[in-house]
Structure formats: structure tokens, C-alpha cells
Structure 1
């Protein structure tokens, strides 16, 4: 096993003077790293509980509001009309279930409305993160299992992302019943990866994710827009001694 690193956040008066072992392998000083706090802790301020994360050089919204002037996170189920299968169940599609079956126009219209409501300041210049996690944007990445908790109990479930592969292939077979299984899978890969739709025989290759962030940048062009979790990396980083690089496999996914 690789050497375990115990991380401690330095106090304000030592910021910039030390290098934490957890980021030492990157050659980064604490002055190069800005940490943001965006946990739902507004209730603490209302109850006169002072978290004082600023003492550790951490940026937070005033009064620890979830949406604020320093950072905003748009979660998948509350931003636009994000397509997904509830509880990873093919019989419970929401907003079409698959990106191929969602209404992109309706989604982008809702995105504009949500941004206007949550970031009313047109000259907002700080971080705005889009958090889409229910599926990954490449068909070949939909092989993994995700850990989740059922809210009505403490039981943990392993839910598989493969539901999006299966549903995509079944969709192709419904539309093109004469295709073989191999042909249906090949077409499903193309359609999922491109989130393609036929409109008046025009094959649009604008992806759901690209159009979402393009619209966001048009709405608030000075904001620092990003997607949570991307570029995507494997979870094996650091398990091989001091090797914290993404695997070649995941680098190729990110290149696509």
C-alpha cells in the first residue's frame, strides 16, 4: 500500500509559508490553492453558530448561504430538465430518461430561467458549477456502479450506470427492429455520445452538456463556469505510491 497522507488545513497566519503533504506531490503551495465552502450551513449562522471557515483561508458565501456572490452550484435535479432514470430504474424515466429523448429546447429554456433566478447579477464573476452526476457523457463510461443511500432507510444500494446503456440499445431496437444486436449497440453508442435527435431529417450533433454550458456562458459571460467532476479521473490515483496521475484510459475519455 502507498504511504498514507494526513492532511491538516493550515491556519491563516501560516498560509503560504508551508506546503501540505497532501499537495506536496503536485509542487503546489497553499497560496496556489483556493478552497471554497458551499455546504448547506446557512442554518448555523441563523442559530448564532460561527463556523469561521475564513480563518483557514476558505472562501464562503456571506452568512453561508447556499447560493451567493462567491459560489453557486446548480444540482442536476433542480437545473433545467435533466434527463435521468429515478433510482436507476428503466421504468422510471424523468424528462425522457435518456439525453436522446429529452427536449433540448425545453431544457435550455428552463436553464435560462434558473440562472436568472439564482444569479440575478448579470456581471457575476465568481464560480458557477453545474453538477450533473447521474450519467456520464460517454456510452463506454456507463459500466460502473454507484453507491447511494435510500432515504427511507439506512440501507445502502449499489446502483448501476449500465441502465443507460441498456435503455439506449432498447430505444434503437424499437426504432430500427431490423438491426442486429451488434448494429443496435453501435448506433446506441453514437446516439448517446452525441445526444443526437432527428429534427426534420437534420442530424444535430450538439450535445446536451455542451449546449447547457454554452447557454450558461451566454447568460452570465463573466462567471467562472465549470462542470463538477470533469475532467473525470479514475479513483485509483494515489494507490500506487506517489503516482497521482489519471490512468491513460480516463485521459482518453476526457480527450473525447
Structure 2
């Protein structure tokens, strides 16, 4: 029925070291077919009336104006090859593209609008998930289709410091990207908590683990990733 639907179950670690499972599947679309899901009988927390965004769980897709490189329709200039089908798309910088070039105030103002629109209840006490996946705050982890953030960061430092060595440019690019990436992510969380203080806030899929991959087929996260996630 929900072929191709991405099923996301939000797992929230509680003080008693137990997991709460939150239903975030768009099963409301099945109501028109007379199918109503009641996940609560299985001990799963679900929004009232099976709403996608409700009293227990709200997910915000790419909210605010995070700096990011977005794709547009294919054009002749400014193209890169996507890892999906290796198609060519033009790249557009939103809010500076890089966190070190972004306007934080502009982003937070837009973020406030997103929260007030999608979570109108100031007493909301459920789980708030910020689904931002355009880049990862750890510089090294921006690989494959996200490598553009490392390339653009190095190009920026090379422009600012044309006589620096390649190593110095790389180090400064990493330092500034992570500094401002952290600023955007932490400021966003703080704003969300200020606006909806009763809610439990977090980022979708973050921190990353990179387990069950071709290079790391086990359950545990690589040691390097653990270190980065703790910084």
C-alpha cells in the first residue's frame, strides 16, 4: 500500500535506558481507503487520529534557511554529476551555500516561522525532529555527493589566502566549516527549545554511525567516527 514509503521510527533514549518507539509513517494516506492504523496497541507512541504531525511526534523537513547547495533543472553551466543515475544538475547556493558564509539571523527567523507554523501549540511536549541532511557538521564526513562542501570550503580559503600551502588551506577549511556548522546546528536547537521548551528535540539520523556498510559490516561505529561524534 505504501510502496516506496520511507518508514522512520523515532527512537528516543529514556532515563531508564529503555527505548520509546514513535510512529512517523504517513499512514494517514490510507484513511481514504478505509484503513486505520492503531500502533498504540503494540506499545508504540502515535499521534492522535493518526496525524503525520501531531501531539506526540513532529518532523520538520529542511526547516529554516540552512546554508546549502541545492540542485536545479539541468543546465549547461555549473553542473555536477549526481550519484543517483549520474545525472547532471546545476548547483544553487542557498544562504551562502556554506555554513561559514551563511546568514545565521536569516536562518533562525525562517526557522521560527517553520516551528510556529508546523507546531502551533506552545505547550507541545512530544518529539521534535529536525530533518536536515544537506551537509554533516564533521568536515571529513562530507563525502560522495556531499563532497561539494569540502571543495567549496577549500576554494574559499584559497581565494582568501592565495599564498597558503595546500595543507594550510585544507586545515583552515575544515576548521571554519566545523566552527560555523556547529554554530548553525546548536543555535537551531536552542531556538527550537526556547520556542517549544517541553518538547524533546534532535536531528534526524544524527549523530551518524556508518555501521552495516561495505567497509564496516558490523554493529559498532568505527572508532574514528566515535571520536568525531564526541567532539
TM-score (norm 1): 0.70
From 56, 59, 62, the equivalent of 2:48 is 62
Counterpart for residue 69 of structure 2: 85
Measure the CA separation in 2 of the matches of 1:32 and 1:127.
16
Q: CA deviation at 1:52?
A: 2.8
Counterpart for residue 150 of structure 2: 165
Q: CA deviation at 1:165?
A: 0.3
Moved more, 80-89 or 63-72: 80-89
8 Å CA contact 2:66–2:184 kept in 1: the answer is no
Measure the CA separation in 2 of the matches of 1:231 and 1:142.
13
From 137, 157, 162, the equivalent of 1:177 is 162
Q: CA deviation at 1:210?
A: 0.6
8 Å CA contact 2:130–2:203 kept in 1: the answer is yes
SS at match of 1:233: coil
Structure label with greater radius of gyration: 1
Deviations 1:187-232 (A, max 9, x none): 1111100118xxxxxxxxx611011101111111110111112232
Q: CA deviation at 1:132?
A: 1.5
From 9, 20, 27, the equivalent of 1:34 is 20
Measure the CA separation in 1 of the matches of 2:113 and 2:107.
10
Structure 1 segments (4+ residues) deviating >3 Å:
87-91, 236-240
1:249 maps to 2:213 = no
8 Å CA contact 2:125–2:199 kept in 1: the answer is yes
Deviations 1:105-160 (A, max 9, x none): 010011111111111111111100111212110111123x3xxxxxxxxxxxxxx2
Q: CA deviation at 1:38?
A: 1.2
8 Å CA contact 1:45–1:63 kept in 2: the answer is no
Q: CA deviation at 1:252?
A: 0.4
Measure the CA separation in 2 of the matches of 1:129 and 1:220.
12
SS at match of 2:129: strand
SS at match of 2:20: coil
Q: Identify unmatched segments of 5+ residues in structure 1.
A: 1-30, 146-159, 197-205
8 Å CA contact 2:38–2:50 kept in 1: the answer is no
Measure the CA separation in 1 of the matches of 2:132 and 2:24.
17
Q: CA-atom RMSD, angstroms?
A: 2.3
8 Å CA contact 1:132–1:228 kept in 2: the answer is yes
Measure the CA separation in 1 of the matches of 2:34 and 2:121.
28
8 Å CA contact 2:189–2:201 kept in 1: the answer is yes
8 Å CA contact 2:211–2:222 kept in 1: the answer is no
SS at match of 2:54: coil
Q: CA deviation at 1:42?
A: 1.8
Q: CA deviation at 1:182?
A: 1.9
